[in-house]
Amino acid sequence: MIRASEVSVGDELPPLSLRITRADLVRYAGASGDLNPIHWSDRFAREVGLPGVIAHGMLTMGLAGRIVTQWAGDPGAVLEYGVRFGRPVPVPDDDEGALVEVTGKVTKVLEDGTFKVNVTASFEGKSVLGGASARVRLP
Amino acid sequence: MPLDQSFVGRSYPPSPPYEVGREKIREFADAVGETSPVHRDPEAARAAGYPDVIAPPTFAIIVSLKANDVLIEDPDLGLDYTRVVHGDQTFIHHRPITVGDRLTVVLHVDGITSRMGNDMLTIRAEVSTEDGEPVTTGRCTLVVRGEDA
């Protein structure tokens, strides 16, 4: 686990590349209870004006959060985590799925000694999570 | 039909308790790719200072999604859930969600605004144990797409 004394504002977290496939969407639908058909039925997704099945915003949020939990070394160190859902991530019905690139950077030390980490997630070069950040307590 | 502004400030009765299961935490951790042993192994969790296995940071969505049912089922609010999009989501953890927790959620309507034909509903989900210990505060904005939007 990383220690507070080893962290400075401006530090960049090791980046993550996430590959999201249809199987991941099915697994997340079951685990979260979010059974909205836009995440598993192309027919339904197109009926509501989407290009096809899209990833759950909450799945992208959860997967992207790993950049912080892995860096901190303790998932319980994440006191706060928030995102805005930007453009959707379409997930094609193939083995490649969608590739989402995640970065993170320490941007602030707060008054209580916790760290603010800004997170970005992009798909095809465009942001899919806006204003994403976490507050982390390190020993 | 825009949403009724008088709903701002309203809260709903606590949801029925949801008991956090060991296998549910493992299943959720697998689904979001969290590999840490503190989500799976009680010994590892205790070594890290927790009483038992803890849940990943976004696990609270399970109980807050369920709690949203009271909004969908409130005929006075008249929310058309087929037009609802998740705008943003934040979790503030007062402590990690832990195996065996019996969680209930009180849902608060903090705001209703209208922008470009869309209604924005700001919801706060106060997640606590049955005994009233605060565990997580979830905040989200639900965007209700207008008929022409």
Evaluate whether A80 touches B92 at the Cβ level (below 8 Å).
yes
pTM: 0.96
Q: Residue A51 domain-assigned? A: no
Q: Residue A92 domain-assigned? A: yes
Q: How many domains does chain A have?
A: 1
Query: A73 vs chain B: nearest CA distance in angstroms?
Result: 8
Q: Residue A35 domain-assigned? A: no
Q: What is the DSSP letter of A54?
A: B
Mean pLDDT of B40-48: 98
The β-bridge partners of B44 are none
pLDDT at position B117: 86
| B58–A62 CB contact, under 8 Å | yes
Query: A99 vs chain B: nearest CA distance in angstroms?
Result: 15
User: Of A70-74, B31-35, B115-119, which gets the smallest average pLDDT?
Assistant: B115-119
pLDDT at position B148: 60
Residue B126 has pLDDT above 70, yes or no: yes
CA distance B11 to B108: 4
Q: Residue A117 domain-assigned? A: yes
Q: Residue A29 domain-assigned? A: no
Q: Residue A25 domain-assigned? A: no
Residues of B in contact with A65 (CB under 8 A): 32, 56-58
The domain containing residue A121 runs over which residues?
4-20+56-136
SS3 A109: strand
| A79–B32 CB contact, under 8 Å | no
- Could you tell me the two tokens for B59? 């696990």
The CB density around residue A113, as the number of other CB atoms within 10 Å, is 9
CATH number at residue A119: 3.10.129.10
Query: A7 vs chain B: nearest CA distance in angstroms?
Result: 20
Predicted ipTM > 0.90? yes
| A32–B96 CB contact, under 8 Å | no
Q: Residue A66 domain-assigned? A: yes
| B31–A69 CB contact, under 8 Å | no
Q: Which of A33, A74, A82 sits opposite B90 (nearest CB)?
A: A82
What confidence tens digit (pLDDT) does each residue in B18-27 have?
Answer: 999 999 999 9
Q: Residue A77 domain-assigned? A: yes
What confidence tens digit (pLDDT) does each residue in A36-80 have?
Answer: 999 999 999 999 889 999 999 999 999 999 999 999 999 999 999
pLDDT at position B1: 62
Give percent of chain A above pLDDT 90.
98
